[in-house]
């Protein structure tokens, strides 16, 4: 039996370019389902799971091995919703559902400017969204049936994405019992 079947509850990854709504979506899913939310960026900061500062991209350099080591036991247990802007370094076996959020360029630009990012960082991230970098990364890293690409432009779409995920979780959990 695979590891995914042994977990009592499924694990979900919410990924996408910064600003697409990963944390907001993951928090709502956790609130409505009781799943444990892990924001990888916060975990990296609080547990020092990095190897310094990337001057060019204006962000911490993740120590991917340390991040995976810190999450392994929790992921084996199941019932976790992880949010992170990258997805290719996690073990594929960890996730039963991978959601990639997408946002229109203009909206994303505004959200990132509001966040106080530098012009360079805003443009870099918007370009990443235009090039579908994270969608491609998810499709290369996980089985096709596990990956769902969802729009995240409006509050209505946010609510719909949460609803769909909660419904998916109910069904997946019922199948496991
Ligand atoms: P991320 O975790 O992907 O960086 P976030 O959850 O912090 O993104 O959201 C960035 C901002 O955009 C925040 O102010 C909440 C808002 N937001 C997120 N998803 C949205 C949506 N679908 N519609 C409108 N605003 C949204």
Burial letters 90-110, b for 16+ CB under 10 A, else e: beeebbbbbbbbbbeeeebbe
What is 3-156's CATH number?
3.40.50.300
Of the residues 14, 17, 18, 19, which should be mutated to test ligand 1's pocket, given the most ligand atoms within 8 Å of the CB? 19
Asked if residue 79 lies in contact with residue 36, where contact means CB atoms within 8 angstroms, the answer is yes
Which tokens go with 66? Answer: 């340390």
Of the residues 18, 24, 122, which should be mutated to test ligand 1's pocket, given the most ligand atoms within 8 Å of the CB? 24
> Is position 115 annotated in a ligand binding site?
yes
Q: Is 99 left (phi over 0), alpha (psi -120 to 50) or beta?
A: beta
- How many C-beta atoms surround the C-beta of residue 156 within 10 A? 8
Could you give the CA distance from residue 80 to residue 38 in angstroms, rounded to a whole number?
A: 7
Tens-level pLDDT at each residue, the chain (177 residues)? 466 667 889 999 999 999 999 999 999 999 999 999 999 999 999 999 999 999 988 899 999 999 999 999 999 999 999 999 999 999 999 999 999 999 999 999 999 999 999 999 999 999 999 999 999 999 999 999 999 999 999 999 999 999 999 999 999 988 776
| Ligand 1: nearest atom to the Cα of 17 | 3
Distance 155 CA to ligand 1 centre (A): 9
- Domain boundaries along the sequence of the chain: 3-156
| Ligand 1: nearest atom to the Cα of 27 | 6
What pTM was estimated for this model as a whole? 0.96
């Amino acid at each position: 039996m695979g590891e995914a079947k042994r977990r009592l509850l499924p694990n979900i990854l919410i990924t996408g370019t910064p600003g697409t709504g990963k944390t907001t979506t993951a928090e709502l899913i956790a609130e409505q389902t009781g799943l444990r939310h892990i924001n990888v960026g916060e975990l990296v900061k609080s547990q020092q799971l990095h190897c310094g500062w990337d001057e060019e991209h204006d962000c911490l350099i993740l120590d991917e091995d340390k991040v995976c080591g810190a999450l392994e036991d929790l992921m084996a247990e199941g019932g976790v919703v992880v949010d992170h802007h990258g997805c290719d370094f996690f073990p594929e076996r960890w996730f039963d559902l991978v959601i990639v959020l997408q946002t229109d360029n203009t909206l994303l630009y505004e959200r990132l400017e509001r966040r106080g990012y530098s012009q360079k960082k805003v443009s870099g991230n918007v370009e990443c969204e235009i090039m579908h970098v994270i969608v491609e990364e998810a499709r290369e890293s996980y089985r096709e049936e596990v990956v769902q690409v969802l729009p995240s432009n409006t509050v209505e779409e946010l609510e719909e994405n949460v609803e769909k995920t909660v419904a998916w979780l109910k069904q997946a959990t019922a199948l496991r019992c």
